[in-house]
Each structure stands twice: as C-alpha cells, then as structure tokens.
Amino acid sequence: MPLLASDRTVGRLSLYRRLLSHLLQEKVRSVFSHRLAEAAGVTAAQVRRDMMVVGYNGIPTKGYDVESLIESIGQFLDAPDPEAVALVGVGNLGRAILSYFDGRRPNLKIVAAFDNDPSKAGQVISGCRCYAVRQIPEVFAENEIATVIITVPADQAQEVCDLLVDAGAKGILNFAPVGLRVPAYIHVENVDMTTSLEKAAYFGRRP
Amino acid sequence: MPLLASDRTVGRLSLYRRLLSHLLQEKVRSVFSHRLAEAAGVTAAQVRRDMMVVGYNGIPTKGYDVESLIESIGQFLDAPDPEAVALVGVGNLGRAILSYFDGRRPNLKIVAAFDNDPSKAGQVISGCRCYAVRQIPEVFAENEIATVIITVPADQAQEVCDLLVDAGAKGILNFAPVGLRVPAYIHVENVDMTTSLEKAAYFGRRP
DNA sequence: ATAACATCGTTACATATGTAACGCTGTATT
DNA sequence: AATACAGCGTTACATATGTAACGATGTTAT
Ligand SMILES: NC(=O)c1ccc[n+]([C@@H]2O[C@H](COP(=O)([O-])OP(=O)(O)OC[C@H]3O[C@@H](n4cnc5c(N)ncnc54)[C@H](O)[C@@H]3O)[C@@H](O)[C@H]2O)c1
Ligand SMILES: NC(=O)c1ccc[n+]([C@@H]2O[C@H](COP(=O)([O-])OP(=O)(O)OC[C@H]3O[C@@H](n4cnc5c(N)ncnc54)[C@H](O)[C@@H]3O)[C@@H](O)[C@H]2O)c1
C-alpha cells in the first residue's frame, strides 16, 4: 500500500467511496470505470489511475466489485481503528455540522464538542456530548482524538487552535475565515465559504 | 483586464481581498508581497504573479497600497453592480449560512431564501425573506438572481437545481453531497464537508 | 545628485496533475 | 476450442500550476 497520495487524489477517493455506497444501497454489485467517472465528474482514465493508488484491481468486462472496492478505499483512507473527532464552537454552524455527521461515518465519529459558553457544557446535541474548553486536554487524552473541527468566531480561532494542537490534534478542519498558524507536522484543511461563493458568482458570470 | 483566471487564482484573489480588508481595519495602508503571502499561506512570487492577472501595479520599496488593491481586486472579481444571491433549503445549514453572510459582502447579498416547508414562507431570517419554492421564477426575475446556494437534502438537490437553472441561475454553490447534472454553461462549486473531514483525518495521520 | 538597496514585474523553469493512447486480460459467444 | 471484444492497468504525453531567478524601478540616505 503506497503512502503517496496527493491532496486531490484523496479527495476523489473519498468521493468515489460515497458514490459507491449509494450504488450499494441500490443493490448494484459492480460498476465500470466509465460510470463511476461520470458520477464523479471526472474521466474514466482518471478513475483507473486513482485505483492504482489504492492498489485495487478490477476485472475486464466485469468492472469493479462495488463492495470490495469500498473496502479497499476504506483500508487506504481510514485509520485501522475507528477514529474519534472533536468539534469546538457549538454555534449555528457547529450545531448544523453535529447534526449532519451524526451517525454518518462510523469510522470518523464526532464524540465531543467544546464551547466556552457555560450553558453548553453537559448538553448532548445530536448525540454528541458538550464540554467546557478547559476539559480539552483530558477528553482528548481519553478518546485519543487527533482530528478536530473548528467553528468558533474568527477572532478566537488561533487561540483555540493552539489549545487543540497542544492537546494532540494532528488534522484540523477549519471553518473560520483565517489562516491558522500551526507547526509543520499539522495539517489544516480550510473550508472557505466566502471564497466558494465568490467563485460561484465569478465563474457563473464568465463561462 | 484579461478574462483569463484559473479556478485557483480566483480563490486566492478572494482570500487576498479578505486579508487586505482586515489590514485596512487595522489602519495598515500598504503591504509587501512577502507579508501578504505569509498571511495567505503562499509564496511571495505567487502573490506578485496573481497581481499581474488583475493588472494591479505596486511600487518597489512601498509595496501595494491596501485600499486601491482591494478596489482593483473588486473590479476584477465582482460584477459591475451589486449582485443578488438566493438560497434554497432553510434548514440547519441554510440558517447558519444566512446568519453568516448577513451584511458581510455588500456586493454579493443573499436577498431571498426558498423552502418547501409552508411555515417558512413569509418569515424573515437574518434579514433575508423566505418564499415558497413555486415563487422562484418571479423572485429570480425581479432581482436578476444568477448566483444560488443549495442547502436542501441530497435527494432533493437535483430537482431543486433544475428549477434554479430554469429560473436563470448561472453559478451554483452546492452543499448537498451529490454531483449535480447541469448544462455546460452553468458553473457548480461543490462544498463537500465529508471529503474535507476525511482529508483532514488522512493527512493529519500521514504527514 | 548619486549610489545602494529592497521590492516589483516578468520570464523562464520545475513540478504536479490530468488526459489519452496502447497493449493485456478475461469473459462470452459460436 | 478459438475468436472477438469490452474494459482494465500502465506508460507516455499534455496541460496546468507553482517556484525561482533576474533585470527594472523607485525610494532613501549620504
Ligand atoms: N455560520 C456559517 O454558515 C458559517 C459559514 C462560514 C464560516 N463560518 C465561520 O464559522 C465560525 C462559527 O460561525 P457561527 O455562525 O457558528 O458563529 P456562532 O457565533 O453562532 O458560534 C460560535 C460559537 O463558538 C463559541 N465560542 C466563542 N469563542 C469560543 C472559544 N474561545 N472557545 C470555545 N468556543 C467559543 C460561542 O460560544 C458560539 O457557540 C465563524 O468563524 C464563522 O466565520 C460560519
Ligand atoms: N448540516 C450541515 O452541516 C451539512 C454539512 C454538509 C452538507 N450538508 C448538506 O446540506 C443539505 C442541508 O443540510 P441540513 O442539515 O441543513 O438539512 P435540514 O434537513 O436541516 O434542512 C433541509 C431544508 O431543506 C428544505 N427542503 C427539503 N426539500 C426541499 C425542496 N424540494 N425545496 C425546497 N426546500 C426543501 C427542508 O424543509 C429543510 O428546511 C443536505 O444536503 C446536507 O447533506 C449539511
């Protein structure tokens, strides 16, 4: 299993897996690179090339076996054991995300939420328990949390980020519209909705 | 003003503008490519190259004038007149987005929200009026809406998308985890949070 | 005034990413 | 059993994107 996979490739693999899961729900057993490509919005060659990365082999005239391909992508993308995820900032967006991920990916489950609003502590929102910010170190240690989601106001994001890194976070999904300063070994994935909306408007205008 | 700008370039320009706005709030008048690059997480050469695209010229030893650079990027990215945006699906995520964009970008304002839940129609949420789905054509025509945000459940997204395209949408920001089928001249910008979270986890694990 | 210097704009180069071509493989059909 | 063929894996190619190098330029200090 090669350890090399580009950012883009990982993104597509994640997408393929979701599409394959839908197919499985519809009792589809096998799929050709063409069809998977069409659903993902890429070329068939791209799909086949991505399969090389995960080391999965299809069968000519049969295509890919949906179930075992999901399994293979999982082995490549996921950690060996289910992973615990934490979210910080139980506001409008944070609550929406908690409800969205509730029960969605068993291997990547949000098990703890943190907020500095005292009234949040102790609550259970969308199946996720809320804690005070000062409890981050202990909860992270108990659950071996390495992946976190930041949904606090922009002016609080860096401060919160530092706490999370100290507590052992390695991968950060950041929704605050600020560039976080982190050590080199930490990975930050930014979701920038303002930029996305401006891109939609720009390219919608100029085809 | 060249009409060529890659997806990535547009994304960075949008980011630069936000960073520059922050600088302006702090009364910073001018900025060097190095500092802007650092804040954006790119190289100084990248910043200078991007400035070529918008046709803006800085001054050696002075750098870029913050205020006029914001103006130039705006002329490049934005439509000549303020643009109206619509959102469909006033649920958990939709409401969070309405509150987030409320009064943020004057040139790109969410003026209408749509939902098929009758109790939503007539409400005003975060300064945005809600309508029934069947009112899409008239409201789009009245406000010349070309950019839309889709936050309906996945199994409703394609249907809603078709309505929006018929009503004149050109740029679509899609939060539903499905690949939308649209005519070639329509631009779809997907925000895929599941993929983003899986990427954060994957690259956090393997540096 | 002029020389020194930091930064800019631009061109040339390097890497990353995506596309297409091609031979191989396994199934189905006669 | 032989043959046709559709799809796969792989390699080679094309394009897109990012990085660095270099000469031009304007400001500041002597
Ligand atoms: N709402 C959206 O759709 C949206 C879209 C894009 C980006 N964002 C960004 O996401 C972040 C959250 O947005 P929101 O709309 O949910 O805001 P919000 O104000 O509704 O929620 C923020 C939450 O963070 C908590 N908080 C504040 N400081 C904290 C701290 N130091 N430690 C822990 N918790 C703290 C608050 O108590 C609150 O519950 C912001 O940075 C915003 O810019 C939001
Ligand atoms: N909540 C999140 O953080 C999150 C994250 C990523 C993606 N998403 C995606 O965003 C979408 C919305 O998520 P949500 O959590 O807000 O769901 P939600 O159920 O809270 O909201 C959906 C809203 O859409 C409305 N709706 C349903 N069908 C409609 C139709 N045909 N026309 C108009 N309106 C319709 C519903 O009345 C409801 O108000 C989903 O596709 C979800 O997968 C959500």
Q: Which of B76, B93, B127 is the last residue of a domain?
A: B76
Give the pLDDT mean for B76-95. Answer: 97
What mean pLDDT do residues B127-155 have?
Answer: 98
pLDDT for residue B4: 80
**Rounded CA gap, A166 and A133, in Å?**
13
- Whether B2 shows a pLDDT value over 60: the answer reads no
B117 assigned to some structural domain:
yes
Q: Does the CB of A93 have a partner CB in chain B at under 8 Å?
A: yes
How does residue B106 score in pLDDT terms, banded at 50, 70 and 90? Answer: confident
pLDDT given for residue A3 in this prediction: 63
Question: Residues B128-145: what's their mean pLDDT?
Answer: 98
Which CB contacts under 8 angstroms, 24+ apart, belong to B193-197?
Answer: B193/A97, B193/A100, B193/A173, B193/A191, B194/A14, B194/A18, B194/A101, B194/A104, B194/A105, B195/A11, B195/A14, B195/A15, B195/A18, B196/A173, B196/A189, B196/A191, B197/A85, B197/A101, B197/A105, B197/A108, B197/A147, B197/A149, B197/A173, B197/A189
- Report if residue A87 sits inside a domain: yes
Nearest residue to B206 (alpha-carbon basis) of A149, A78, A141, A108:
A78
Q: Which of residues 98-157 of B touch A (CB under 8 A)?
A: 99-101, 104-105, 108, 146-147, 149
CA–CA separation, B88 and B102 (whole Å): 16
Decide if B201 is inside a domain.
Answer: no
User: Looking at residue B104, what is its pLDDT?
Assistant: 87
Same domain as A142, residue A113: yes
pLDDT, residue B136, reads 98
Q: Is the pLDDT of residue A2 over 60?
A: no
CA A129/CA A160 separation, integer angstroms:
18
The pLDDT confidence band at residue B105, using thresholds 50, 70 and 90, is confident
pLDDT number for residue A193: 98
Query: What is the pLDDT at residue B3?
Result: 63
pLDDT for position A104: 87
In a domain, A179, yes or no: yes
A18 → closest Cβ in B99, B100, B194: B194
Q: Does any domain span residue B87?
A: yes
Note whether A145 and A188 are same-domain residues: yes
Whether residue B178 contacts residue B154, with contact meaning beta carbons closer than 8 Å, is answered with yes
Domain extent for A141: 83-195
Given pLDDT bands bounded at 50, 70 and 90, which one contains residue B1?
A: low
Instruction: Say whether both A120 and A145 belong to one domain.
Output: yes
Task: Tell me, yes or no, whether B89 and B180 share the same domain.
Answer: yes
**A12 in Cβ contact with A40 (< 8 Å):** yes
**What pLDDT score was predicted for residue A1?**
54
Which pairing describes strands A187-190 and B147-150: parallel, antiparallel, or unpaired? unpaired
A63 CB neighbours strand D below 7 A: yes
Does the pLDDT of residue B54 top 80, yes or no? yes
What pLDDT is recorded for position B53?
A: 96
Do A164 and A102 share a structural domain? Answer: yes
Mean pLDDT score, B195-201: 98
Assigned token pair, A146: 């390495």
Structure tokens at B49: 């190259």
Tens digit of each residue's pLDDT (9 = 90 or more) over B7-43: 999 999 999 999 999 999 999 999 999 999 999 999 9
Report CA(B37)–ligand 2 centroid distance (Å).
36
Report d(CA A202, CA B8) in Å as an integer: 12
How many angstroms separate the CA atoms of B97 and B89, rounded?
11
Whether A120 maps to a domain, the answer reads yes
A75-85 burial string, b = 16+ CB within 10 Å, else e?
Answer: ebbbeeeebbb
Residue in A114, A151, A180, A198 to alter for ligand 1 test, most ligand atoms within 8 A of Cβ = A151
Alpha-carbon gap, residue B85 to B110, rounded angstroms: 4
- Per the CB < 8 A criterion, the answer to whether A54 and A13 are in contact is yes
User: Percent of chain A beyond pLDDT 70?
Assistant: 98
Q: In the listed set B25, B60, B76, which residue is the last one of a domain according to the structure?
A: B76
Residue B2 within any structural domain of the chain: no
- CATH code for position B89: 3.40.50.720
Q: Which residue, B105, B62, B76, is CA-closest to B13? A: B76
Q: What is the number of structural domains in chain B?
A: 2
The b-or-e profile of A33-64 (16+ CB within 10 A means b, else e) is bebbbbbbebeeebbeebbebbebebeeeebb
What is the Cα–Cα distance from A10 to A201, expressed in whole angstroms? 27
pLDDT digits 0-9 by tens, A26-77: 999 999 999 999 999 999 999 999 999 999 999 999 999 999 999 999 999 9
For residue A1, tell me if it sits in a domain.
Answer: no
Q: Starting at the earlier edge strand, list the strands of the sheet with A83-88.
A: A124-125, A128-132, A108-115, A83-88, A147-150, A171-174, A187-190
